[in-house]
Amino acid sequence: MAEVEAIAQNLLELDEDELMAQLGTRSQAIEASPRAASIESLEEEVPVPRGAFDDLLRAGKNIFAPASAQAYKILCSPVGGDSELAAELDKLMNQKTADAAAKMTAAIAPVLVTSLGLPQSIAVMVGSLIVKKVAKGTSDFICENWKETLEGSATANTPESSPIAPVELPDTPEPSAS
């Protein structure tokens, strides 16, 4: 976990667009080499080619938007919400430190791996982006703030014609009423 926190601190130093482009770059690197899916691979920065920045930024957004929305459902919805983890994230959010942000990323990443099936490196990057976006607002409750960022990005990320296809994430099954 400490390794994830250290990597997350480095990722959190990037601005959102750089991190989003890194996410797009990482997804392409995973296609070329499955080794790029490991957390250890995040210790080596994958350069974002200048001419491809906009395409990689779009690719990163295509990965981030559905992953963030599905993670929100898992962590913050009344039906599937993990109230213990949401409470821990809330506590960390209130600390407003780089260390707390890294711990939030480290707490979110395993959920993204196990529940959404994301590769570890992508999960850490998506977790970092979630923390960056959620930490921007002034809401005291992380799920309320996260919901606001999802609503804002839904209107801002209208589909554009792009040569990069969106990444399909597995649907999370709704818990059955027993």
- Tell me the pLDDT tens digit for each residue of 132-160: 887 765 444 567 777 777 877 765 554 44
* Number of domains the chain contains: 1
**How much is the pLDDT for 162?**
37
Residue 147 covered by a domain = yes
**How much is the pLDDT for 146?**
75
Which tokens in the block code for residue 7? Answer: 């990597």
Residue 174 covered by a domain = no
CB atoms < 10 A from the CB of 156, how many?
Answer: 9
Supply angle C-alpha 146, 41, 168, rounded to 5: 50
**How much is the pLDDT for 86?**
72
**How much is the pLDDT for 2?**
55
Residue 20 covered by a domain = yes
What angle, 0 to 180 degrees and rounded to 10, lies between the N-to-C axes of helices 120-136 and 98-116? 130
Which runs of consecutive H residues, i.e. helices, occur in the chain?
2-12, 16-32, 53-76, 83-95, 98-116, 120-136, 142-156
CB atoms < 10 A from the CB of 115, how many?
Answer: 19
**How much is the pLDDT for 126?**
93
Residue 171 covered by a domain = no
Residue 177 covered by a domain = no
Residues of the chain scoring pLDDT < 70: 1-2, 77-83, 136-142, 154-178
Residue 173 covered by a domain = no
User: In which domain, by residue range, is 15 found?
Assistant: 2-156
Which tokens in the block code for residue 103? Answer: 């711990």
Residue 167 covered by a domain = no
Residue 7 covered by a domain = yes
CB atoms < 10 A from the CB of 88, how many?
Answer: 15
